[in-house]
Each structure stands twice: as structure tokens, then as C-alpha cells.
Amino acid sequence: SGLKMYFPITAGVFRKHVGDVKAVDNVSFTIYEGETLGLVGESGCGKSTCGRAILRLYEPTAGAVRIDSKDVLAADANTLREMRPKMQMVFQDPQASLNPRMTVAAIIGEPLDEHTSLSKKDKLARIYELMDQVGLNRDFANRYPHEFSGGQRQRIGIARALALNPTFIVCDEPIAALDVSIQAQVVNLLEELQDRLGLTYLFISHDLSMVRHIADRVAVMYLGQIIELAPRDPLYLEPLHPYTQALLSAVPEPDPEAEKSRRRIILKGDVPSPANPPKGCNFCTRCPKVMDICRQIEPTFHEVQPGRYVACHLYQETAG
């Protein structure tokens, strides 16, 4: 394939146990430098756990996550401390993730305090530079988070995430808590920063329209597993996995002609408990295309077309 294989983040096989609950099960994928990988799925499917496990904000129980060929999960405290600046997170709720008792300058400067020994003057210069980059007026430096709108608070969170020149940012539902009118502005800012700074994003969202806008490739999660991974356009135009087909059928088409012929696939039943996933395919209790084999054997996640991965017996040579 013509795709240049770049290596900054390889999230290998890892499992995250929350008590007995498998929130992330054998998830494995690669993120290419400079791309945006969208990670979609309903709430509770394990998206956020996956993002946090990659950054080692949670301890996965096994597996490998490589950034610039260094294994994040195997890293000792010192190595991890060296790697930390390269991988950052933008959180869903800027309100909850910003300390209300700290000024904007203190919030953005905190990572600089922890990881650099800049002089006061250089630190302030860097804080101003970061504020410029995210479109925050420098006059706001000594104000507190509650004095800002949700969109501005998210800009503060982004500035903080950028402070140490990261290469990889996990954006965990970065716009879900914002007014619809503000969402596009924040997404545009993220895209602009990506282009300017050469950032790589894992963009976690349940908003399939927004992911279609921002992502280069998209991974779909169900019950702690990635069940389909593909470049953006093929995934949206011709989803292969029945779960992806159902998810996308709920998204209104921008083109009125396409919208007229949109057929909504309504799934029956509830998402099973991750503590007690069904035998065979995780989706077999709700899949409109379920076959006998699906209740017996778990489909493997594998490449069915160049760059397209899916876990479903419909695309397995053994399907029958």
C-alpha cells in the first residue's frame, strides 16, 4: 500500500480490568504520525478507558503502547516522566478539569513548572505564546476559569495540553460539553493546531458527524473491542460491520437526496454487561445478520481490504 508506515503510537494488545469488567479487551491499532484517528462508539463502550490506558493514566494489565518506539507501558518512572510531555490529553469537561482556584496563567504554566526550569520571564512569554496559539486574549492571564465561557475554558485546556510541545494528544470528547454553536470553532482550532504543529490526535467522540469532519481514519468500538477500523470515507460510505452500519444509519445525511433514501437500522435489546459478554461475537445478541457460527466462535479482527479491518464472520473465509 502507498501508506507510509510511521510508528509513533502502536497500541498493542492490552486489557484493562475494572474489577472483573473488561472495559478494553485486546484492543490493537496503530496511529500514524500527523493523522487524526477517530474512536467512536456508544457511551460505556470503553473509548475513554482506551484513550487513558494509552497515556497510562490508567494501568492496563498487559500489552504495549509505543510512542517513538519507546514502550509507554513498560517504561519505568523516570522514562515515563521523560515521555509524559510528548503525550497529552484534552478532556471533555473543561469546567471539571481546570482548577477553579488557579488563574489562567497558572493553569497553563503548571506543566512548565513540573517539567522545565524556565525563568519567570521566559515562562510568562511561553504562556502568552500559548494563549495566542489558542486564540485567548493575553489580558485574560490573571482571570479564573469561572469567568469564561465553555468554549474559552476548552481553549485554556488546549493551551495547557500544548505547553510542553507534545506530539500526540488524546482528545476525549473535547466538544461534547460545549454549545453546538461553539463546537465547530473548537474543532477548527484543533485542526489548525494539528497542521501548524504537526500533532497526532486520537479523537474520541460519540458524534459521528464531527468525527467524519475531523478524522482521517475511524475505529469503531463495541463492548470494549474495536470491531471496525478503516479510512474515513470508505467507513462512512460503505460500513462493513453490522454494528457500524446501524450506528451510521442513525446519522442524518447532509445531502437531501441521500437523506431521503436513508434507512434507519434499529437495534433490538440492550448492550450486554461488559462483565458478562456473550459467547462468540460480542454483538451477536443484537446483530440483525447473526448466524449460528456467531454464537459459538469469536470473529477475529483482521484486514479484509487494504487498510480496512473488521471483526465479523460475514467477512471471514470460514463464514458459512
Question: In whole angstroms, how close is the CB of 36 to Mg ion at the nearest point?
Answer: 5
Q: Give the span between the Cα atoms of 288 and 17, in whole angstroms.
A: 30
Residue 314 interacts with, from ligand SF4, Mg ion, none (CB under 5-8 Å by kind): ligand SF4
State yes or no: residue 205 binds Mg ion (CB under 5 A).
Answer: no
Coil, helix or strand for 122?
helix
Applying CB under 6 A, the residues found at the interface with ligand SF4 are 241-242, 281, 283-284, 287, 289-291, 294, 299, 312-314
Question: In whole angstroms, how close is the CB of 79 to Mg ion at the nearest point?
Answer: 30
Residue 279 interacts with, from ligand SF4, Mg ion, none (CB under 5-8 Å by kind): none
Question: In whole angstroms, how close is the CB of 46 to ligand SF4 at the nearest point?
Answer: 17
Residue 286 interacts with, from ligand SF4, Mg ion, none (CB under 5-8 Å by kind): none
Backbone angles phi, psi at 156, to 5 degrees: -65, -45
Which span sits near Mg ion by CB under 5 A: 28-36, 89-97, 109-117, 179-187?
28-36
State yes or no: residue 200 binds Mg ion (CB under 5 A).
Answer: no
With respect to ligand SF4, which residue has the nearer C-beta, 111 or 280?
Answer: 280
Question: In whole angstroms, how close is the CB of 213 to Mg ion at the nearest point?
Answer: 9
CA 218 to chain centre: 10
Q: Give the span between the Cα atoms of 320 and 313, in whole angstroms.
A: 8
The residues pairing with 40 across neighbouring beta strands, listed in sequence order, are 205, 220
193: left (phi over 0), alpha (psi -120 to 50) or beta: alpha
Question: In whole angstroms, how close is the CB of 304 to Mg ion at the nearest point?
Answer: 25
Q: In the complex, which residue's CB is closest to Mg ion?
A: 36
Question: In whole angstroms, how close is the CB of 21 to Mg ion at the nearest point?
Answer: 33
Backbone angles phi, psi at 37, to 5 degrees: -100, 115
Site pattern 35..74 for Mg ion (x: CB under 5 A): -x--------------------------------------
Residue 36 interacts with, from Mg ion, ligand SF4, none (CB under 5-8 Å by kind): Mg ion
Q: Give the span between the Cα atoms of 236 and 56, in whole angstroms.
A: 31
What count of other Cβ atoms lies within 10 Å of the Cβ of residue 268?
8
Are 305 and 228 spatial neighbours (Cβ–Cβ below 8 Å)? Answer: no
Question: In whole angstroms, how close is the CB of 290 to ligand SF4 at the nearest point?
Answer: 4
With respect to ligand SF4, which residue has the nearer C-beta, 261 or 318?
Answer: 318
Q: Give the span between the Cα atoms of 74 and 100, in whole angstroms.
A: 35
Residue 313 interacts with, from ligand SF4, Mg ion, none (CB under 5-8 Å by kind): ligand SF4
Residue 281 interacts with, from Mg ion, ligand SF4, none (CB under 5-8 Å by kind): ligand SF4
183's enclosing H/E stretch is: helix 180-197
CA 219 to chain centre: 9
State yes or no: residue 167 binds Mg ion (CB under 5 A).
Answer: no
Residue 287 interacts with, from Mg ion, ligand SF4, none (CB under 5-8 Å by kind): ligand SF4
Residue 228 CB contacts under 8 Å (≥ 6 apart), including other chains:
219, 220, 235, 239, 240, 241, 243, 244, 308, 309, 310, 311, 312
With respect to ligand SF4, which residue has the nearer C-beta, 289 or 302?
Answer: 289
Burial of residue 40 (number of CB atoms within 10 Å: 0-12, 13-18, 19+): buried
The residues pairing with 52 across neighbouring beta strands, listed in sequence order, are none
Question: In whole angstroms, how close is the CB of 319 to ligand SF4 at the nearest point?
Answer: 8
- Residues interacting with Mg ion, by CB under 5 A? 36
